Homo-oligomer: A and B are copies of this chain.
């Protein structure tokens, strides 16, 4: 296809596509004439991935280039590729340097993950996000035990298992990465559905018959 069609199908302006080519995020098209290049479905899929990383993770061109480099390196396995993208996308929070509440929360997170037996690196940004939530709950007068956190861990594990199961033999690495980026939007779906389910549960238990 011509660059105009690539622009229309990706929803990205021609100028943006040319910028991505100059920045090395998108391979050049195949020259079909002196001033014409042909693009194919792999270019379209790459553009969709770049768009997803920019819109969902608000990633810089440099951060996207690192992910693209890993994507194109057949020596980087799918698990490491997911890790590079997931840690870049975030969310991410900074822990204060020397706060005893934070330290206690972080230890609770480490103990919970060990108890669950989850294979997660020590650098996973979500460990700090979880610790931040535990600090906030403590400030509200709640001190969730591992047992109180378990229903949330089980719901999260069931969804992760479902999502991993959506990857088929013919799913490309670029598609798989785009699905990973979309799972951040699915978290907004999940939170909205949680609010709606709470209203329904309250209506059934406390509402007018």
**157-209 of chain A: CB within 8 A of chain B:** 157-164, 178, 180-183, 185-208
Q: Does A104 contact B (CB under 8 A)?
A: no
- A140–B207 touching, CB < 8 Å: no
- B189–A79 touching, CB < 8 Å: no
Partner of A126, one of B159, B195, B208: B195
User: Copy number in this complex?
Assistant: 2
CA distance A178 to B189 in the complex (A): 24
- B55–A86 touching, CB < 8 Å: no
**103-141 of chain A: CB within 8 A of chain B:** 113, 116, 118-121, 124-127, 129-130, 132-134, 136-137, 139-141
Q: Does A149 contact B (CB under 8 A)?
A: yes
Bin the interface of chain A by size.
35 or more
- B140–A151 touching, CB < 8 Å: no
- B82–A206 touching, CB < 8 Å: yes
Query: A155: which B residues are within 8 A, CB to CB?
Result: 155, 158-159, 190, 193
Q: Which residue of B lies closest to A204 (CB)?
A: B119
- A189–B149 touching, CB < 8 Å: yes
Q: Does A48 contact B (CB under 8 A)?
A: yes
